[in-house]
Amino acid sequence: MSGGPAVRISIESSCEKQVQEVGLDGLETYVPPLSMSQNLAKLAQRIDFSQGSDSEENGVDSEPRDGEWGKQEPEEEEDTVKFQPSLWPWDSVRNNLRSSLTEMCVLYDVLSVVKEKKYMALDPVSQDPTAGKTPQVFQLMSKKKSLATAAQLLLKGAEKLSKSVAENQENRRQRDFNTELLRLRSQWKLRKVGDKILGDLSYRSAGSLFPHHGTFEVIKNTDIDLDKKIPEDYCPLDVQIPSDLEGSAYIKVSIQKQSPDIGDLGTVNLFRRPQKNKPGTPWHIKLEAAQNVLLCKEIFAQLSREAVQIKSQIPHIVVKNQIISQPFPGLQLSISLCHCTGDKKINRSSPEKPKPDDHLYVLEHNLHQMIREFHKQQLSSVVMPHPASAPFGHKRLRLAGPMAYDKAEISSLQQSEGLLEKIIKQAKHIFLRSRTARTIDCLASRIEDPQIQAHWSNINDVYESSVKVLITSHGYEQICKSIQLQLNIGVEQIRVVHRDGRAITLSHQEQELQDFLLSQMSQHQVHAVQQLAKVMGWHVLSFSNHVGLGPVESIGNASAITVASPNGEYAISVRNGPESGCKVLVQFPRSQVKDLPKSDVIQDTKWSHLRGPHKEVQWSRMEGRNFVYKMELLMAALTPCP
Amino acid sequence: MGVTCVCQVPVAEGKSVQQTVDILHKKLEQLGAVKQGNFCVDCETYQSTVNAGGQPSKLLYVMHNSEFPLSCLALFEGGPCLVADTNFDVLMVKLKTHFQNAKGHKVECRGSRYRYCDFLIKVGTVTMSSSVRGISVEVEYCPCVVPGDCWNLMKEFMLSFLGNNVPELPTVFAAKPEGLFAPADSVDTMTQYLELFNKLRKLQITGSNVH
């Protein structure tokens, strides 16, 4: 820019005259200045006289109408221009001037008032050109209106809410019979007979064959004084339960050792806590209790029917509310139905000593489960959908024809044990299991060397469970683990499986298991010596689990082992019997024995390497905490130092 | 259901059918077998009335076995076979227009059922329209279903009470593929019975055998 030619800027006074047009050559043509009179006339025309006078008159009118007035004005003005001049040429000017003067005066007054700032102050008005004064007001009005309607809606809603809350509270206080009936109807079977409403408590629809009708009646309980304070648990609906289903009941299963005299077997009253049956109990609790009573009665009826029908070696006894059976000799399984009606006071049992809680809850639970299974079987064999061509009955029996099942397969499908048979089997198993556990625990606590460990499996069948028994010596668990037994406890017998697969069947007698375990423990000691000899570098000369010589053991057989020291000088013989205990003999080299009887046969010096006579070790005086440790010490003592 | 072998035992010389059967019973009881009720196998013959394309009409045999009390077997001679519910008999009545019952051809085999450990032995007399045609012996070895695995054992067992009359391996088993697991089933048993019945049907009725 600086390098460029100087620009000439002409300065002239600002144009006072209006430019009329600018020619193509840039020449401006000015409007010629008005003459005095022309100027006056123009100025006079500019003055909007009508607006001033009209606004004075129509000041009270609403502002939105001013727009209309604005439109009409020019017409009127034209009219006055048309007609007024004929009267007098300056008439309009005069009138307008007069009104303008008035306005000026008013303006002056206003300004003077404003200037005082005492009564009035002027604030700047927002300069929004689009939103004039009129639409703003209109907006305000519409907003106000819509807000008002919204507020009305909200208020209405609030009113409704508060009303419903109040109603709810009222309902809680005074429940409706019909809603209660509806609730009852959704959970129980109801039907209307005459003017009564009867319900069904029985499990018949679930497959039960129990002949009890199990009907209850629904009673309207609305004759309560509404003015009085309504009790909290008030319910307008009440149920009338048959009298024989009232109260509460349960089935008790227990196993007892001695059988009491049958003569004094009476009704058993075995209530832990007599349940209070207030009249105000809600209907659903009442109905559930009654249904439970019904189910217990059904179970007991089924059991007693089977007890009479089944022929067993020792007949089952059904006395009053008790069924007694003998699963094992000297044992008694009693199943009793305990039913307590609310009105009867049972205080007779209270003076007696509280008996130990010998409930077999598992069996009680299983009884309930089995009766439900029985129900389901009934239901599925008769009611459930089945192929039109197939005979009624068990689902899998339908396959028997087309698959050509033979007699054995069919009978295994049809095998249906009664409730009593099943529960007796389960009781037998439970008893056998607990007795086995006790036997093992007794032995484990009585005998410290060797040790017995029992690992019970967590998951059992109702008729079978298993336990793993390990016999070890303390401190030598790693090398002495020859005896591992798996005891499968069944219903009548215990099956013992050795680690090598041998299986032995023991009966339910406690003594058998105990004797067996004792003989295993005795064998363990000899096995332990064998294992120890391997570790210590001794040689096994002979080994026998069942020795045919020596004193006869009342339990099992004695076992024996003979081991020789690494260099063959010494030999240890061990004989261990379950009853006679252990006997340890050490054989010395012939050379070490002083008072060896002279022999005519063995005279050569080489025979002195033969082992000589045996000497018994006083085992109880040996040092060491257990048998294997003592044996280790003995072996160590007889092994010459290198 | 194990492997089954059905064979015919000839009537002993100078003895009636019943006497021969009694001898067999005695032999079994001496072995230690225990009698476990009776058994019955029957067979009815149906003739197809619809003759398709001039082919000779096939015979349909409907059989029952008390060992499969809920089943009914229908066999075509040398053709397909069907195992069904006992309802099948009712169906056959409805199919009268297609299969006609040959009334006089009903064959029955009745007798006693013995158990000896794992063996089931059935000694029966085969009768056809109330005339005795022969003696059948069925031996079943229950624990095994593969004929090749237990045939020698069965043969040895049969030797102990049948003597010289021990049969060869039944043709139904000989036809089974070797090496594949082809278990013996009810159809094999019934096929053997059918073969036996057809063999006895062709025999001349000899008056001396009739009890």
Q: Is residue B48, in this structure, part of any structural domain at all? A: yes
User: How many Å is the Cα radius of gyration of chain A?
Assistant: 59
Give the torsion through C-alpha atoms of A193, A199, A200, A201, to 10 deg.
-150
Cα(A265)–Cα(A316) distance, rounded to whole angstroms?
14
Domain count, chain B: 2
Predicted pLDDT of residue B163: 86
Is B67–A389 a contact, with Cβ atoms under 8 angstroms apart?
Answer: no
pLDDT at A232 over 70: no
pLDDT at A344 over 80: no
The pTM assigned to this predicted structure is: 0.61
- Kindly list the residues of chain B whose beta carbon comes within 8 Å of any beta carbon in chain A: 1, 67-73, 83-87, 185-187
Predicted pLDDT of residue A68: 46
**B115 and B161: one domain?**
yes
**Average pLDDT rounded to a whole number, residues A144-165:** 94
SS3 of A518, please? Answer: helix
- The closest CB to that of A389, out of B70, B87, B186, belongs to B87
User: Going residue by residue through chain B (211 aa), what tens digit of pLDDT does each one get?
Assistant: 789 999 999 988 888 999 999 999 999 999 999 999 999 999 999 988 876 666 667 789 999 999 999 899 999 877 788 999 888 999 999 988 888 888 778 999 999 999 998 999 999 999 988 889 899 999 999 999 988 889 999 999 999 999 888 888 888 888 887 777 778 888 999 999 999 999 998 876 554 444 4
**B83 and B112: one domain?**
no
Cα(A524)–Cα(A218) distance, rounded to whole angstroms?
73
Q: What is the CATH number of the domain that holds B8?
A: 3.30.310.180
Chain B residue numbers with beta carbons less than 8 Å from the beta carbon of A409 are 1
Q: What is the pLDDT of residues A86-128, one digit of tens each?
A: 567 788 888 999 999 999 999 999 888 888 877 777 777 766 6
Mean pLDDT for chain A overall: 80
Q: Is residue B211, in this structure, part of any structural domain at all? A: no
Closest approach of B211 to chain A, Cα-based (Å): 31
Chain A residue numbers with beta carbons less than 8 Å from the beta carbon of B68 are 404-406
Predicted pLDDT of residue B52: 64
Q: What is the pLDDT of residues A275-326, one digit of tens each?
A: 454 555 678 888 899 999 999 999 999 999 988 888 878 888 888 888 988 8
pLDDT at A358 over 90: no
Predicted pLDDT of residue A61: 44
pLDDT at A242 over 80: yes
Q: Are A570 and A638 in contact (CB under 8 A)?
A: yes
Q: Are B31 and A371 in contact (CB under 8 A)?
A: no
What is the span of the domain harbouring residue B48? 42-101
Residues forming beta bridges with residue A229, ordered by sequence position = none
Point out the least confidently predicted range of A176-185, A228-237, A524-533, B98-107. A228-237
Predicted pLDDT of residue A60: 44
From A397, which residue of chain B is nearest by alpha-carbon distance? B70
Last residue of a domain, one of B101, B119, B136: B101
- The closest CB to that of B86, out of A401, A409, A410, belongs to A401
Q: How many beta carbons lie within 10 A of that of residue A617, not counting itself? A: 19
Q: Are A239 and A218 in contact (CB under 8 A)?
A: yes
Q: How many beta carbons lie within 10 A of that of residue A356, not counting itself? A: 7
| Mutation site, A406, A410, A411, interface B, largest B CB count within 10 A | A406
- The closest CB to that of B67, out of A400, A401, A406, belongs to A406
Cα(B129)–Cα(A182) distance, rounded to whole angstroms?
72
Cα(A438)–Cα(A433) distance, rounded to whole angstroms?
9
Give A350's DSSP letter: S
Q: What is the pLDDT of residues A179-194, one digit of tens each?
A: 788 888 888 888 888 8
Pick from A638, A508, A532, A627: nearest CA to A586:
A638
> How would DSSP label each residue in B11-77?
PPTT--HHHHHHHHHHHHHHHT-EEEEEEEEEEEEEEE----TTPPPPEEEEEEETTSTTEEEEEET
Dmax (CA) of chain B = 57
- What percentage of chain A carries pLDDT values higher than 90? 28
**B122 and B193: one domain?**
yes
Preceding omega of A450 cis (within 30 degrees of 0):
yes
**B78 and B129: one domain?**
no
Per DSSP bridges, beta strands A237-240 and A317-319 are: unpaired
**Average pLDDT rounded to a whole number, residues A446-466:** 91
Pick from B18, B208, B46: nearest CA to B112:
B18
SS3 of A283, please? Answer: helix
Q: Domain ranges in chain A?
A: 185-347+356-379, 422-507, 524-594+605-638
Predicted pLDDT of residue B34: 94
| Mutation site, B1, B68, B70, interface A, largest A CB count within 10 A | B70
pLDDT at A64 over 50: no
Is A401–B1 a contact, with Cβ atoms under 8 angstroms apart?
Answer: no
Cα(A324)–Cα(A335) distance, rounded to whole angstroms?
7
| Mutation site, A397, A405, A407, A410, interface B, largest B CB count within 10 A | A407
**Average pLDDT rounded to a whole number, residues A196-211:** 87
Closest approach of A459 to chain B, Cα-based (Å): 31
Predicted pLDDT of residue A409: 84
Predicted pLDDT of residue A145: 94
From A406, which residue of chain B is nearest by alpha-carbon distance? B68
Chain B residue numbers with beta carbons less than 8 Å from the beta carbon of A405 are 68, 70-71
Chain B residue numbers with beta carbons less than 8 Å from the beta carbon of A411 are none
Chain B residue numbers with beta carbons less than 8 Å from the beta carbon of A404 are 1, 68, 71, 73, 83, 185-187
* Percent composition of chain B: helix, strand, coil (DSSP 3-state, to 5): 30, 35, 30
Predicted pLDDT of residue A58: 47
- The closest CB to that of B68, out of A389, A397, A404, belongs to A404
pLDDT at A78 over 60: no
Confidence of residue A245 (pLDDT cuts 50, 70, 90): confident
Query: Quick one: how far is CA A599 from the chain centroid?
Result: 88
Predicted pLDDT of residue A209: 85
Task: Tell me phi and psi for residue A312, to 5 degrees.
Answer: -125, 170
**B50 and B121: one domain?**
no
**Average pLDDT rounded to a whole number, residues A568-585:** 90
- Which of A43-52, A380-389, A437-446, A581-590 holds the top average pLDDT? A437-446
**B47 and B84: one domain?**
yes
**B36 and B46: one domain?**
no
Cα(A377)–Cα(A413) distance, rounded to whole angstroms?
13
Is B70–A409 a contact, with Cβ atoms under 8 angstroms apart?
Answer: no
Q: Higher model confidence: residue A587 or residue A64? A: A587
**Average pLDDT rounded to a whole number, residues A389-414:** 79
Predicted pLDDT of residue A351: 40
Is B71–A409 a contact, with Cβ atoms under 8 angstroms apart?
Answer: no
Q: Is residue B210, in this structure, part of any structural domain at all? A: no
**B32 and B47: one domain?**
no
Predicted pLDDT of residue A132: 52
Q: Are A564 and A558 in contact (CB under 8 A)?
A: no
| Mutation site, B68, B83, B185, interface A, largest A CB count within 10 A | B68
Q: Higher model confidence: residue A267 or residue A95? A: A95
Predicted pLDDT of residue A475: 87
Is A389–B85 a contact, with Cβ atoms under 8 angstroms apart?
Answer: yes
Predicted pLDDT of residue B158: 93
Q: Is residue B207, in this structure, part of any structural domain at all? A: no
Chain A residue numbers with beta carbons less than 8 Å from the beta carbon of B83 are 401-404
- A and B: number of Cβ contacts within 8 A: 42
Q: Is residue B55, in this structure, part of any structural domain at all? A: yes
Confidence of residue A491 (pLDDT cuts 50, 70, 90): very high
Closest approach of B191 to chain A, Cα-based (Å): 14
